[in-house]
Structure 1
Amino acid sequence: MDSLGRDSHGRDVHSRDLRYFVAVAQELHFTRAAERLFVSQPALSKQIRALERQLGADLFVRESRGVRLTRAGAALLPYAQQVLEHWRSAVGAVEHAKTEERATLRVGMSTRPARGGLLPAVRSRFGDAHPQATVRLRQVSWEDASAGLADGAADVAFVWLPLPDMERYGWVVVAEEPRHVALPATHRLADRDEIDFADLLDEPFLALPKSAGALRDYWLALDARAGHPPRIGAEIASTDETYEALVDGRGVCLAAAGNAPLITLGGVVTRPVRGITPSRFALAWRVGDDRRPLVAAYIKACGEALGRAE
């Protein structure tokens, strides 16, 4: 028998033939094997005879009380079992792939990636490649800088860098934007077109929750303070909380240029800031998850939407 399951005469040997053979070889009794297989004993005997003709060898010695394997049958048995085991594994792999294709991909975000129509473009490309998959968007509080990746609530996520525990994640930057400062319209610096970060060092800042870790430090611009500790006016975990705290005069905060329209709703202005690095918005995933078909497909769709070669 070759690797394609054909006998020496080129005729196909089906997995059913091998299942029948293995059942008889294990039971050493045609009637018990037939009951195990839920087929009639005559049908089973006929199929075994057909297999013996295909192979050109008797597989069993028929006796009054049952059967025993011939030398040829004993030689075939371990290979037949191996083929059936591989076939079961193959069927399982196919079922897993089908399930993956139909599965739901959860996309986390704390800031909606409206930039340049990115999200609709990714959704369109992903949907074309995987029409049976469902994409669910999950809005996550700023308390979780990973937007659901850390606790498994999201499969991929649009996040701001840096992430806590960066080594756990892979990512691709989808937007790089200057950081602006948001402040009350009545603030002493509000009439400037641009503000030096040095002029903000003593201002009370609105801070992300401590659980945001490195991201909290980033939006407080610790790297640009040269050891000058920030004053925390309030903690914020959403756009609404940020706006209310700004209007109340509890502090100022840094924001990506693309997010400025979300908080300039009246009584709040944003201005470009000199002396700090731009922000980076990214699509991120857990290390190793990029091997999952839907995760890999979403990453690819994002790259295509950004016009990058994959």
Structure 2
Amino acid sequence: MNEQLNTFIQVAESGSFSKAAEKLFISPTAVMKQINSLEKHVGVPLLIRTNHGVELTEAGKSFNKDAAFFLQYFQEAVLRIRQAAQGNQHVIRVGTSMLNPCKVLLDLWNEISDQYPQFKIKIVHFEDDAYTLPTTYRSIGKYFDFIVGPYLIEDWKDYFSVLELGSYRFSFAVSRNHRLASKITLSVKDLYGEKLAVVKGGKSAVIDGIRDFLIRNHPKIKIKDVPRLYDIDVFNRCEQSDTVLLTLDAWSDIHPSLVTIPSDLDFTAPYGLLYPLNPTETVSQFLEIIKEMQTE
């Protein structure tokens, strides 16, 4: 099943048996056999064969959304089996993305990693997409043991626990061509007459507090509510529209054409290690080590 899933993903991406065969270093005939076997197993056609290549059926499109997760889950299961066989080796899976980089945790761990050789770190990439991020965070414990980042939305506490490591300050990001781009710091009054994008996806008490504060005390700022979560597209849209973005100082390097400038807003957002509500023994042991570092 592992090979069949991998083959299906390659065929779906390339739209061709022969192109998928080139990527997999096997023959087109072998690719077709694996796809035929997969379709027989699931009981429905996944691909439409044409003279110009292959296309996904509606069932294939649905299956394609989950195939990568199936494959990763299978690989993780194999990894756990091997860990059990090795006995004393424990792999900690750390999620990473542009907005949630794992460097904070790795910097902590690298200070003491030689004292705990039984733990190995595996980096697992995920996308900063506003539409898939809720699912990503709900999958903590399935595909990741930890994600490092801010926790702005209180409702997510039903899906994971948090070990707080510190806090980020709120800043303003502007295009490098914006009239405010040369400022060293920005006061709220500097934004009078400007459009300010405020991300309101989900429920965030701290962001709602900032928004209410600005509306009540600084009505000359034009608040532009963004009905989604922070993702790369939000940064792109603000740069293209010359809109000021309410952001965090930790995201100063996200977009090369945006300048992130410290603000005089007296608001912060906590950040830390996001981990499963019911962590495994291995994750709990790793967590206790990090907690001990904080108390030293």
Q: TM-score range by the shorter chain?
A: 0.5 to 0.7
For residues 220 and 187 of structure 1, the distance between their equivalents in structure 2, rounded to whole angstroms, comes to 26
Find the aligned partners of 2:167 and 2:126 in 1 and give their Cα distance.
21
Q: Matches of 1:101 and 1:173 in 2, distance apart? A: 28
Q: CA deviation at 1:269?
A: 2.1
The match for 2:294 is 308
Q: CA deviation at 1:145?
A: 5.5
1:222 aligns to 2:215 (yes or no) = no
Identical aligned residues as a percent: 13
C-alpha distance after superposition, 1:24-78 (max 9, x if no partner): xxxxxxxxxxxxxxxxxxxxxxxxxxxxxxxxxxxxxxxxxxxxxxxxxxxxxxx
The alpha-carbon deviation at position 158 of structure 1 amounts to 1.0
1:262 pairs, out of 254, 257, 276, with: 254
SS of residue in 1 equivalent to 2:272:
strand
Residue 295 of structure 1: how far off its partner (Å): 1.4
The alignment status of 1:277 with 2:277, answered yes or no, reads no
How many residues are paired up? 205
CA shift for structure 1 position 308: 1.6
CA distance 1:197–1:258, shift in 2 (3 Å) = same
Bigger radius of gyration, 1 or 2? Answer: 1
Measure how far apart 1:191 and its partner are. 3.8
Give 2:100's aligned residue.
111
Q: How far off is 1:200 after superposition?
A: 3.7
- The reply on whether 1:183 has 2:189 as its aligned counterpart is no
What SS does the aligned partner of 1:149 have?
A: helix
Cα separation, 2, equivalents of 1:220 and 1:139: 29
Closer/same/farther in 2, CA of residues 251 and 183 from structure 1, 3 Å limit? same
TM superposition shift of 1:160:
0.9
Q: CA deviation at 1:253?
A: 1.3
SS at match of 1:178: strand
Letter in 2 for 1:309: T
Paired amino acid for 2:164? V
Paired residue for 2:283? 295
Distance verdict in 2 for CA 1:251–1:261, change over 3 Å: same
Query: Displacement, 1:172?
Result: 2.0
**Conserved in 1, the CA contact under 8 Å of 2:198 and 2:246?**
no
* Amino acid in structure 1 at the alignment position of 2:240: D
Tell me, what secondary structure is at the counterpart of 2:207?
Answer: helix
Partner Cα distance (1:251, 1:234) in 2: 15
Distance 1:171 1:237, change over 3 A: closer
Q: Deviations over 1:97-139 (max 9, x none)?
A: 9478545432224421435xx4143256457435265523333
- Is residue 286 of structure 1 aligned with residue 272 of structure 2? no
Aligned in 2, Cα 1:220/1:252: closer, same or farther, shift over 3 Å?
farther
Residue 244 of structure 1: which of 230, 236, 239 is its match? 236
Task: Kindly indicate whether the alpha-carbon contact (under 8 Å) linking 1:220 and 1:254 is maintained by their aligned counterparts in 2.
Answer: no
Q: Runs of 5+ in structure 1 lacking a partner?
A: 1-94
Write the deviation string for residues 232-286 of structure 1: whole angstroms up to 9, x where unpaired: 47967544x35533431352212322321333x24x3222111331232211223
Contact between 2:171 and 2:248, CA under 8 Å: does it hold in 1?
yes
CA 112–295 in structure 1, closer or farther in 2 if over 3 Å, else same? same
Q: CA–CA distance in 2 between the matches of 1:147 and 1:299?
A: 23
Pair 218,113 (structure 1): closer, same or farther in 2 beyond 3 Å? farther
Moved more, 178-187 or 167-176: 167-176
Q: How far apart, in 1, do the equivalents of 2:209 and 2:242 lie?
A: 15
Superposed, 1:1-310 pairs within 5 Å as: 98=84, 102=89, 104-109=91-96, 110-115=99-104, 118-122=105-109, 125=112, 128-129=115-116, 131=118, 133=120, 135-143=122-130, 148-152=136-140, 153-168=143-158, 169-197=160-188, 199-200=190-191, 203-206=194-197, 208=199, 210=201, 213-215=202-204, 218=207, 221-226=210-215, 230-232=223-225, 238-239=231-232, 241-263=233-255, 265-266=256-257, 268-289=258-279, 292-304=280-292, 307-309=293-295
Over aligned residues, Cα RMSD in angstroms?
4.0
